[in-house]
């Protein structure tokens, strides 16, 4: 952002008067009036203290320090306090003159009203002075209040930006295991809902300490004017304050339940959209509709309970003045206690301020604080998820010894332009070596060095919601010749003819409009277009049929990547003879490495492994054939029974 600065904000050079009355916005308002609208270039650049990079860097540094100091029980709140310092409390000091003026104003007003009473001893100049003081007090109250709101909002925005940036950076560092176990819907809720709670908590937070002080002053003034009747107001106020923690606990419980059910609903909706073709093929719409409706009903019930609790609390808060006055002056009327209009007005105004500050804002502060605690707990849990281990992996732009793994028996590769097949029947063992190279799996001994750029192609294709072309380019500049080469190498040219808009066809959310084989080839094409030095392929051939699989191996791996390092994890033994080197894994350990001929002649384990894979594939084919036959048999029997029933009905 800094490289594009051309319209710095006048706030940075504004004087105290301009900052206090927000006059620095006058030029922008004038331009909006003259043009009738505002364009993007008219807006001021973001000030440095609001930039995401600097805010996130500061919070991230404090969070990492917190993890180092307290690895067993780190606290995101402590990291936040070190990041923001005492800024929020210092801003809260503005409430002292604000609430003081709120209390002084009705006293001045009563003094001014006393001028019009019979036999008043107040001089005219004193009345004018009191009236002027009331006006000045109102002006100061509004100025201070808007300054407080502006600074609190800025503080809240800073915290939301910092938290959002920290969550985003954590997403980029998550390991595959953590990403698979943490639903994307939960991450969306963190950024959409929980980050919002971080921002909202700042507005009323300072009333946690200013409200008790204000209550003490109000009680003293009421005692001075109405004596023992004050205990009625005190009792009802304390009753409401004691009820607030109960409501706050109820709000926290219901809010937590709503968030859990919302996560569940978002997760299942995401899965349904991702697998919409399967749902349509098997006519599962009604079943999934009932499931989603059931979850939504639970969510609505909890939400309604939450809103009803909020309504009850709101009624108690807004009826505070009426109920207090009814009890106070009803008691005074019952016991024939005299009171005048001035005392009545003063009591009304003081109780109004008490309701706003001590009941409404204090209650909102407790509720927002509890929501913040729940939100930061969820965010902290996310921030403590396992990350990809990249500390022991050294990156360089040198092309000497492209890949090297130490302390795993021997060096894996020390030359360029090779095809290495990683062979094992168990899928997790094939993938483990590649994920170790990328740093996705934690290792406790040895080092992995990658010299040059690398590209990892996972077995489960990752497609984002855009066109096929954008999924292949993935932010790189479009090169027509390179793009066509990649498309031909991955056999996507045939699919482009069949797709409605060719390469510009939209694939939908997570590639829902593409088949599994098409997604695998788009994933492969993206890797080829990157033109990396090292390619780590986690069995991309398993999602396509035999013909396309051979085409991908011949055109993409053998020809297109002929001058690259290519490590292929696979269980398809028909490609082993074309590999430069084979790696055999057993129980997570690399037991043998060599060419196909060397291993076939010298290794009984390798021969036995090939035989086991053949038997496993033959068994899968047999099971698949028997399942198809049983389905055909069941369908034919159902049709036969249906025909018989129709014949009986006809008779």
At 561-595, the pLDDT tens digits run 888 888 888 777 777 777 788 877 766 667 777 77
Confidence of residue 115 (pLDDT cuts 50, 70, 90): confident
Percent of the chain with pLDDT over 90: 9
> Whole-structure pTM over 0.85, yes or no?
no
Considering only residues 122 and 524, tell me which one the structure prediction assigns the higher pLDDT. 524
pLDDT at 304: 92
pLDDT of residue 109: 81
Task: Tell me which residue of 257, 254, 277, 275 sits closest to 265, measured CA to CA.
Answer: 257
Residue 405 has pLDDT above 50, yes or no: no
Two structure tokens written together for 443: 């290792």
The answer to whether 392 and 176 have CB atoms below 8 angstroms apart is no
Contact 608, 600 (CB under 8 A): no
The two structure tokens encoding residue 322: 């009426």
**Token pair recorded at residue 437:** 């190279």
pLDDT confidence of 300, banded at 50, 70, 90? very high
Q: How far apart are CA 186 and CA 64, in angstroms?
A: 23
* CA dihedral sign of residues 41, 44, 45, 50: negative
Banded model confidence at residue 441, pLDDT cuts 50, 70, 90: low
d(CA 525, CA 471): 9
pLDDT band at 620 (very low <50, low <70, confident <90, very high): low
Q: Which residues contact 102 (CB under 8 A, 6 or more apart)?
A: 141, 353, 357
How does the average pLDDT of the chain come out, rounded?
79
SS3 593: strand
Higher pLDDT, 651 or 141: 141
pLDDT digits (tens, 9 = 90+) for 175-207: 777 777 777 777 888 888 888 888 888 888 888
pLDDT at 311 over 90: no
Please, which pLDDT band fits residue 543 given cuts at 50, 70 and 90?
confident
Please give the pLDDT value at position 165: 92
**Residue-level pLDDT at 124:** 86
| pLDDT tens readout for residues 150-167 | 889 889 899 999 999 999
Indicate the DSSP class of residue 404.
E
Check pLDDT > 50 for residue 392: no
**Is the pLDDT at 385 greater than 70, yes or no?**
yes
Query: What span, in angstroms and rounded, lies between the C-alpha atoms of 458 and 567?
Result: 12
**Residue 524, pLDDT score:** 92
pLDDT (tens digit per residue) in 14-37: 888 888 888 888 888 888 888 888
| Chain Cα centroid distance, residue 559 | 42
Q: Is the pLDDT of residue 601 over 80?
A: no
């Amino acid at each position: 952002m800094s490289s594009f600065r051309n319209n710095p904000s006048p706030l940075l050079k504004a004087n105290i008067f301009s900052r206090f009355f927000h006059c620095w916005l006058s030029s922008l308002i004038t331009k909006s009036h003259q043009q009738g609208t505002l364009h993007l270039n008219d807006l001021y650049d973001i000030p440095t203290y609001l930039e995401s990079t600097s805010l996130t860097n500061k919070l991230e540094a404090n969070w990492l320090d917190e993890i180092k100091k307290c690895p067993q029980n780190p606290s995101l709140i402590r990291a936040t306090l070190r990041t923001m310092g005492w800024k929020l409390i210092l801003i809260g000091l503005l409430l002292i003159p604000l609430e003081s003026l709120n209390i002084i104003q009705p006293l001045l007003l009563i003094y001014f009203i006393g001028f019009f009473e019979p036999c008043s001893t107040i001089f005219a100049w004193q009345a004018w002075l009191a009236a002027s003081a009331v006006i000045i007090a109102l002006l100061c109250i509004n100025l201070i209040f808007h300054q407080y709101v502006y600074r609190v909002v800025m503080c809240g925005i800073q915290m939301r930006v910092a938290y959002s940036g920290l969550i985003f950076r954590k997403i980029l560092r998550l390991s595959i295991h953590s990403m698979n176990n943490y639903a994307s819907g939960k991450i969306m809720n963190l950024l959409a809902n929980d980050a919002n709670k971080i921002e909202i908590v700042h507005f009323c937070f300072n009333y946690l300490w200013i409200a008790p002080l204000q209550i003490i002053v109000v009680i003293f003034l009421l005692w001075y004017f109405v004596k023992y009747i004050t205990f009625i107001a005190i009792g009802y106020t304390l009753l409401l304050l004691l009820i607030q923690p109960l409501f706050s606990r109820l709000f926290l419980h219901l809010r937590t339940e709503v968030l859990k059910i919302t996560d569940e609903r978002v997760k299942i909706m995401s899965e349904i959209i991702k697998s919409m073709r399967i749902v349509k093929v098997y006519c599962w719409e009604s079943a999934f509709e009932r499931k989603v409706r059931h979850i939504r009903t639970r969510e609505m019930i909890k939400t309604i309970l939450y809103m009803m609790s909020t309504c009850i609390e709101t009624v108690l808060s807004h009826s505070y003045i009426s109920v207090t006055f009814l009890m106070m002056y009803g008691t005074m009327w019952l016991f024939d206690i005299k009171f005048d209009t001035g005392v009545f007005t003063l009591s009304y105004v003081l109780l109004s301020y008490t309701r706003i500050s001590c009941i409404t804002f204090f209650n909102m502060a407790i509720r927002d604080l509890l929501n913040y605690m729940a939100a930061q707990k969820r965010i902290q849990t996310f921030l403590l998820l396992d990350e990809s281990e990249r500390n022991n992996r050294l990156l360089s732009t040198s092309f000497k010894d492209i890949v090297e793994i130490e302390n795993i028996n021997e060096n894996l590769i020390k030359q360029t332009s090779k095809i290495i097949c990683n062979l094992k029947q168990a899928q997790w063992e094939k993938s483990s070596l590649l994920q170790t190279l990328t740093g996705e799996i934690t290792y406790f001994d040895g080092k992995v060095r990658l010299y040059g750029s690398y590209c990892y192609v996972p077995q489960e294709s990752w497609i984002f919601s855009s066109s096929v072309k954008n999924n292949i380019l993935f932010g790189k500049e479009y090169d027509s010749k390179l793009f066509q080469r990649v498309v031909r190498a991955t056999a996507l040219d045939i699919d482009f003819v069949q797709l409605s808009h060719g390469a510009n066809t939209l694939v939908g959310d997570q590639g829902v409009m593409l088949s599994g084989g098409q997604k695998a080839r788009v994933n492969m094409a993206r890797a080829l277009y990157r033109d990396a030095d090292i390619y780590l392929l986690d069995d991309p051939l398993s999602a396509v049929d035999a013909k396309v699989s051979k085409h991908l191996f011949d055109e993409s791996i053998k020809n297109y990547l002929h001058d690259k390092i290519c490590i292929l994890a696979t269980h398809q033994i028909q490609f082993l003879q074309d590999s430069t080197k084979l790696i055999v894994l057993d129980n997570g350990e690399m037991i043998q490495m060599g060419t196909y001929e060397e291993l076939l002649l010298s290794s009984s384990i390798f021969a036995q492994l090939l035989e086991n894979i053949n038997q496993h594939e033959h068994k899968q084919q047999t099971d698949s054939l028997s399942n198809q036959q049983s389905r055909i048999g069941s369908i034919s029997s159902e049709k036969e029974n249906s025909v018989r029933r129709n014949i009986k009905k006809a008779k």
